[in-house]
Amino acid sequence: MTHPTPLLSTRGLDVGLAGRTFCRHLTLTVQQGECLAILGRNGAGKSTLLSVLAGLRQPDAGEVLINGASYGSLGARASALARGWLPQSRSEAFSSTVLETALVGRHPHLARWDWESENDARIARQALAAVGLAELAQRDVQTLSGGERQRLSIATLLAQAPRLYLLDEPLAHLDLNHQIATLELFSVLAREREIACVMVMHEPGLAVRFCSHALLLFGDGSTQQGGCDEVISSESLSRLYGYPLREVGGKGQRWFMPA
């Protein structure tokens, strides 16, 4: 049986910053339909690794492939069509409406001198509806709360419609209701549209519930990866966070609390 080319793969990847090595010789594959959670302490290199996977930073060694091709061979436009990146934070320097901001996600699909079409506007409105912002389409982005801006960033990424989503703390600034709604949204996209997600997360219980795989960054160059049920345990998390944790719950609802 032949397997499809992974949407994301790495070969012998070394990633570091300021003299520290966050991962060493990392070989990783993410197939369509999969969601991978990246877990680790503050400063363990989660965001740095994600920026390397997005092609925004060069690795110290090794390579990143998107659907079997390097970012260099794809070029900027094809890369933007293949993968979308949600940064940890963003700011809107200029006044614009919520809909106009969501439409930015359509730019990789447009030729140099093209204007957004009615179809682009329809796609952007659908993306806003998916994150509960449809009624705010004409609001100025400068008037939005932090959580609303985060949901708008996600909507802009949905309008981009890549196959691979790279999400740096997608739950930041969101209340519990919207955290669960966001994770359910990407879980459904992975299952029904065969996209793939890689997301930096802080709550192991949510990773177990909504992700198929996990990558643990221990901050010293060592990593652990595999299915969430295999990788995420009280033992591995106690080592990861440097504090003893115990597991509670069951039947697919596994949570980890300080021991």
pLDDT of 93: 64
State how far the Cα of 30 lies from the Cα of 227, in Å rounded to an integer. Answer: 11
Q: Which whole number is the average pLDDT over 80-108?
A: 90
pLDDT digits 0-9 by tens, 177-210: 999 999 999 999 999 999 999 999 999 999 999 9
pLDDT at residue 2 in the model: 60
Please report which residue ranges of the chain form alpha helices under DSSP H: 46-53, 71-82, 98-103, 118-130, 146-160, 176-193, 204-210, 228-231, 234-241
Q: By C-alpha distance, which of 124, 123, 201 is closest to 167?
A: 201
Residue 250: the pLDDT is 72
DSSP conformational letter for 66 = E
The per-residue pLDDT of the chain, averaged, comes to 94
Per-domain boundaries in the chain = 8-67+163-258, 94-160
Task: Supply 58's token pair.
Answer: 């060069």
- Whether 213 contacts 35, CB under 8 Å: yes
CA torsion 238→244→249→250, rounded to 10°? 40
Query: pLDDT digit string (tens) for 100-137?
Result: 999 999 999 998 888 989 999 999 999 999 999 999 99
Fold of 8-67+163-258: Rossmann fold (3.40.50)
pLDDT of residue 95: 85
